Structure 1
Amino acid sequence: MNYLSIDSKTKLYYEGEGVGQPVIFIHGVMMSSQFFQNQYPYFKEKYRTIMFDLRGHGKSSKVEYGHTVANYARDLKLLIEHLDLKDVILVGWSMGAFVVWDYINQFGTNNVKAVTVVDQSPSDYLWEGWEYGAFTFEAIKGVMQAIQEDQESFNREFIYGMFKEKPADEVHKWILTEMMKVPASIASTIVFNQTAVDYRETLSNVDIPTLICFGRDDKFFPVAAGEYIQKRIPGSKLVPFEKSSHCLFLEEPDKFNKELDHFFQNLR
């Protein structure tokens, strides 16, 4: 197993194989790198492919501190430096897209070749005049309470909301196992922080090629949120996934892999 030591208590688990153009897959809140199990074997044959578990998630250390999107972005920078990666392509799903945007806000795009945003609105919170979020204050308060009081029941139901069609029992089982690796204290902390961040005004900082992938089934976000992003990142491309909700890489893995591969291959 590969681990990067961030400090005396914090180690990040990562996997990396392949040669050539580096690509990093970044998972969503309460999830893990294992969500990219249909991508890792495909892309490692063509690229230097890396996936990792954010602190508190998956096989990474369950430290009780550092659980903000901004700090996750700093952890990402340390991983890139540790692996001595140049001109990386960052693929961010859900909160992973927030991590990508925050990374760019903090460190710029000098060492980033391209970005892929996977089913994530620029802000999860339903601010006044903002319709492409997922949570009101009452809703996020309810989510935090549910995680604290009965995390497993909350997770069981949450999983169904991520798919257009009901996932097979074995898929639901492994996802629940991955989600339950995140302690309730960490889950509720980062869920709140990632709901409060807002990247609407900083999308213009993304001055590199960008692919935007959204599921047509809008249990989380409508494709219109992707259109909002597309209008604010010059030259970006939006691809809807007609048979998907939030987990397009699991729901339509072949299309997802081909769209990303085509995008990567056409980068200058």
Structure 2
Amino acid sequence: MSTTPSTDPLATGTHTVEIDGVTQSYHVHGSGPVLVAHSGGPGIFWEYLRMPALEEHLTVVYPEPIGTGASGRLPAHPHGYTRARYSRFLAALIEHLGVPEVHLLGHSHGGFVAQYHALHHPDRIAGVILYDSAPVTGPEHGAEAMRLVQEFAARNADNPDLPEVIEAFQSIPTISDDAQMTAVARGIFPAYFADFWGRQDEFGPARAGVTATYISGLDDDLTPDVIDDRAALGSLTVPTLVLVGRHDVICGVRWAEELHELIPGSELVIFENSGHFGHLEEPEAFAKAVAAFVEAPAGN
């Protein structure tokens, strides 16, 4: 592992470090205890996860997950981006930061990565925050998401922009390049909020700014990176905070409650006026919940 000539690896700004021959880009903002925030997708560029209200309390490190943005791509791109590989890059990044422990936040697919990392590499993790995540993917997760999207469609049946959102969901299986991935991510964006259209002036710029890389979800040998952590989560020893928006359609309350039940001693916070982006929809409540968890005395 090598790094570009730099000042402090936790100095505010953009940094790069080379891990396994691949460039890992990351961004540092804020001050206070260190929180590493892993964005989702997989393939969504990190900027949507920027959390200014939280940066008032914590030093937030935002990795650009490999395969996205300024970070390098794997030789097998768009394949090979498994949780084990993302976790390997997280471990090397945390070592590079040079602090004894960090808190780790994972949003959406980043939550899948964070729970994997906390299960397999807990030694440098002071606490893990599973933000709009789930213990399982596959048909069961897909069926629940479909049910919640149908509820969203029913609530917004009279909205003239609804067909565009539904069409974007229906096109997900056909994505095969970065342009299609970005178009679909922007297309489905309204469904990921409690009330996107009621706050469109506020959230429209975030939608326009979404950028994504196509990541296949397959390993190098083209096998799916299937997730089912339900049997393992009972052995998770890292302090855990589970966060979810009441109106999240993709990783809804059902999954947050299941994570909370499976993980010993975990805390659960539900943001009643949020969908999949509580840090945008209820930023102060989000920052308060995360900061309180990070700053809690050990053992509490």
TM-score, normalised to structure 1's length?
A: 0.82
Residue aligning to 1:28: 40
**Percent of matched pairs sharing the same residue:** 26
RMSD value over aligned CA atoms?
A: 3.0
Question: In structure 1, what is the equivalent of residue 240 of structure 2?
Answer: 210
- Once the two structures are superposed, the pairs formed by residues 170-209 of structure 1 within 5 Å of their partners are 171-180=203-212, 182=213, 184=214, 187-189=215-217, 196-209=226-239
Aligned residues: 255
Residues 1:7 and 2:37 are matched in the alignment: no
| Partner Cα distance (2:207, 2:115) in 1 | 26
Q: Which has the larger radius of gyration?
A: 2
Q: CA deviation at 1:217?
A: 0.7
What is the one-letter code of the residue matched to 2:173?
M
Q: Cα deviation per residue 1:173-213 (whole Å; 9 max; x = unaligned)?
A: 44454424x1x3xx234699887222111112321221111
Match of 1:145 among 167, 171, 174: 174
Name the SS of the counterpart of 1:188 in structure 2. coil
Q: Kindly tell me: are residues 78 and 239 of structure 1, through their superposed partners in 2, closer, same or farther at Cα, counting changes over 3 Å?
A: same
Query: How far apart, CA to CA, are the structure 2 residues paired with 1:119 and 1:226?
Result: 7
Q: Which residue of 1 aligns with 2:82?
A: 68
Q: Structure 1, unaligned stretches of length 5 or more?
A: none
Q: Letter of the 1:27 partner, please give it.
A: S
Which of 53, 61, 68 is the equivalent residue of 1:50?
61
Gaps of 5+ in 2: 1-13, 148-168
- Residue 179 of structure 1 aligns to a residue whose secondary structure is coil
Task: Describe the SS at the equivalent of 1:196.
Answer: coil
In structure 2, relative to structure 1, the CA distance for the partners of 1:102 and 1:147 (3 Å cut) is same
Contact conserved, 1:217 with 1:243, CA < 8 A, in 2?
A: yes
1:165 Cα deviation after fit:
1.3
Match of 1:168 in 2: 200
Aligned match of 1:245: 275
Which of 96, 99, 112 is the equivalent residue of 2:110?
Answer: 96
| CA deviation profile, 1:26-51 (whole Å, cap 9, x unmatched) | 111122332232x2x44444433211
TM-score scaled by structure 2? Answer: 0.74
